[in-house]
């Protein structure tokens, strides 16, 4: 092949990074794939803006058909975002026998199974490394590097915005709202931060990771999600007293043929390697039956880190083009989906209560937990925060989610329990 041509859907921060890497690394790309690589056409909304910023006008179009229907374009790189319209573009691309590289986690979490199926039917490649954890090659590591192992647990920090917020809350003792405002000013958080702070962004990534790791089609609706907007600086400080660090953690775990997938604020023991991952960085732990524990760490977002993952996928597609093998990596899930019920999900829990400051209250609480076979690992009896009200912090031993939530319901009904202030999952010092 004399040349490989690329069509780019979108020219924002990441798209600009892709163009820059292709231009600056041309010698290396030619060495790897054996021919020149060029960006032939770029879909943008505002052509004048990009021309003003120095982009060659001949590369720009605002008509997607100039890319989808151009027989000379071999690969489409999708970095425009969006779901339904973008899905229709990619389906058309596959019908026109074009390979696709995308960074679109929302699209892949919702329609990944369908897109992979259509890509395979048309002998096209669909790669999406950059959809999870930016510059960290986590998807390729799971599907290729660990392909011979059975993965039993994936656990990680996969959202840089929330990790930045929780890091600053912990280090500086600042309230959530103040740190969020600062994160928005620095560009780490969007003007509407809902997707990040309510855990939706992380949930989409965990759905993708679980699908690939367990070879089981996990949908976004299968992920139990809780965000960080209710986390207080008091919670974080009490956690510190007990030897914990607060992180928004995604967990995908398989026991037998059943899986659980969740995203939630979690207290990690300070000895856990993920507890030291700070600011906007991401890290993912993968545990296999044979390999044991492995950890992948790096920038979870940003123009060039994310673009690096995209261009790595491009190289893989271009090598397939040169060898004449396409669609082989689009492997459908092997196993039927089986999700754990609440009585099959076990964890430790942190619980903070405001109770009546009177004799016998703690005995009632202890008795209630004992009825559900839940014992305590740690207990803090804190000073009275206001007249006739005391604060109790508990950390349980492992308990089923069902038993623990049943206790929470009954605690709410106890007259001596004034308020359940907070409740979080707790993870010990290793992944297993």
Catalytic residue among 40, 98, 153, 205: 205
Do residue 152 and residue 251 come from a single domain? yes
CA–CA dist 282, 169 (Å, integer): 17
Cα 395 to chain centroid distance, Å, stands at 27
Do residue 127 and residue 113 come from a single domain? yes
Do residue 272 and residue 145 come from a single domain? yes
Within-domain flag for 367 = yes
Within-domain flag for 42 = yes
Within-domain flag for 330 = no
CA–CA dist 165, 228 (Å, integer): 9
Within-domain flag for 328 = no
* Structural domain total, the chain: 3
Structure confidence at residue 71 as a pLDDT band (50, 70, 90): very high
pLDDT tens, position by position, 220-237: 999 999 999 999 999 999
Tell which of 265, 299, 333 closes a domain: 299
Do residue 312 and residue 249 come from a single domain? no
- List CB contacts of 332: < 8 A, sequence separation 6 or more: 113, 116, 117, 120
pLDDT tens, position by position, 398-412: 999 999 999 999 999
Tokens, residue 231: 């986390």
Do residue 117 and residue 166 come from a single domain? no
Do residue 312 and residue 176 come from a single domain? no
What is the phi/psi pair of residue 425, to 5°? -70, 150
Do residue 10 and residue 65 come from a single domain? yes
pLDDT value for 38: 94
Q: Is the pLDDT of residue 387 over 80?
A: no
Mean pLDDT of 98-112: 93
Tokens, residue 309: 């993952």
Within-domain flag for 381 = yes
For the chain, percent helix, then strand, then coil, each to nearest 5? 40, 30, 30
CA–CA dist 285, 153 (Å, integer): 8
Do residue 312 and residue 294 come from a single domain? no
Do residue 145 and residue 246 come from a single domain? yes
**Helices 200-214 and 105-121 sit at what angle, rounded to 10 degrees?**
30
Q: Is the pLDDT of residue 1 over 80?
A: no
Look up the domain containing 396 and give its range: 342-427
Within-domain flag for 337 = no
pLDDT tens, position by position, 311-337: 999 999 999 988 887 766 666 788 999
Q: Is the pLDDT of residue 13 over 60?
A: yes
> Are 29 and 37 within 8 A, CB to CB?
yes
pLDDT value for 408: 97
- The model carries a pTM of 0.89
Do residue 129 and residue 144 come from a single domain? no
CA–CA dist 265, 162 (Å, integer): 10
Percent with pLDDT over 90 in the chain: 77
The CATH number of the domain holding residue 123 is 3.40.50.720
CA–CA dist 80, 60 (Å, integer): 14
Mark whether 205 is an active-site residue.
Answer: yes
Q: Token match 């917020």: residue?
A: 165
> Are 310 and 316 within 8 A, CB to CB?
no
Within-domain flag for 329 = no
> Are 418 and 354 within 8 A, CB to CB?
yes
Do residue 319 and residue 362 come from a single domain? no
Do residue 69 and residue 175 come from a single domain? no
């Amino acid at each position: 092949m004399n040349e490989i041509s690329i069509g780019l859907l979108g020219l924002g921060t990441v798209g600009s990074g892709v163009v820059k890497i292709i231009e600056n690394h041309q010698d290396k790309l030619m060495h790897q794939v054996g021919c020149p690589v060029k960006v032939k056409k770029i879909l943008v909304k505002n052509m004048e803006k990009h021309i003003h910023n120095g982009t060659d006008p001949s590369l720009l179009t605002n008509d997607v058909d100039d890319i989808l229907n151009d027989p000379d374009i071999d690969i489409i790189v999708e970095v425009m975002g969006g779901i339904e319209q973008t899905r229709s573009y990619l389906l058309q691309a596959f019908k026109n026998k074009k390979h696709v590289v995308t960074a679109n986690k929302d699209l892949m979490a919702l329609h990944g199974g369908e897109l992979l199926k259509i890509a395979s039917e048309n002998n096209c490649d669909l790669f999406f490394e950059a959809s999870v954890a930016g510059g960290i090659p986590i998807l390729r590591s799971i599907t290729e590097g660990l392909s011979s192992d059975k993965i039993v647990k994936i656990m990680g920090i996969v959202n840089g915005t929330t990790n930045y917020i929780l890091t600053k809350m912990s280090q500086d003792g600042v309230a959530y709202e103040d740190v969020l405002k600062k994160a928005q000013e620095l560009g780490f958080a969007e003007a509407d931060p809902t997707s990040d702070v309510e855990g939706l962004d992380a949930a989409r990534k965990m759905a993708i990771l679980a699908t690939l790791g367990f070879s089981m089609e996990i949908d976004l609706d299968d992920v139990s999600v809780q965000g960080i907007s209710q986390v207080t600086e008091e919670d974080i400080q009490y956690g510190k007293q007990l030897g914990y660090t607060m992180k928004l953690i995604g967990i995908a775990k398989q026991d037998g043929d059943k899986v659980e997938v969740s995203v939630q604020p979690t207290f990690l023991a300070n000895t856990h390697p993920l507890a030291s991952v700070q600011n906007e960085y991401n890290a993912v732990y993968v545990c296999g039956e044979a390999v044991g524990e492995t950890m992948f760490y790096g920038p979870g977002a940003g123009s060039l880190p994310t673009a690096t993952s995209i261009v790595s996928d491009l190289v893989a597609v271009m090598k397939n083009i040169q060898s004449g093998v396409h669609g082989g990596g689009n492997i459908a899930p092997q196993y039927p989906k089986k999700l754990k019920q609440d009585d099959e999900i076990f964890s430790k829990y942190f619980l903070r209560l405001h109770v009546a400051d009177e004799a016998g209250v703690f005995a009632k609480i202890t008795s209630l937990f004992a009825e559900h076979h839940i014992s305590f690992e740690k207990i803090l009896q804190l000073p009275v925060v206001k007249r006739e009200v005391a604060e109790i912090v508990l950390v349980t031993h492992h308990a089923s989610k069902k038993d623990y939530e049943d206790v929470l319901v009954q605690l709410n009904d106890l007259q001596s329990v004034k308020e359940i202030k907070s409740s979080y999952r707790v993870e010990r010092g290793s992944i297993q």
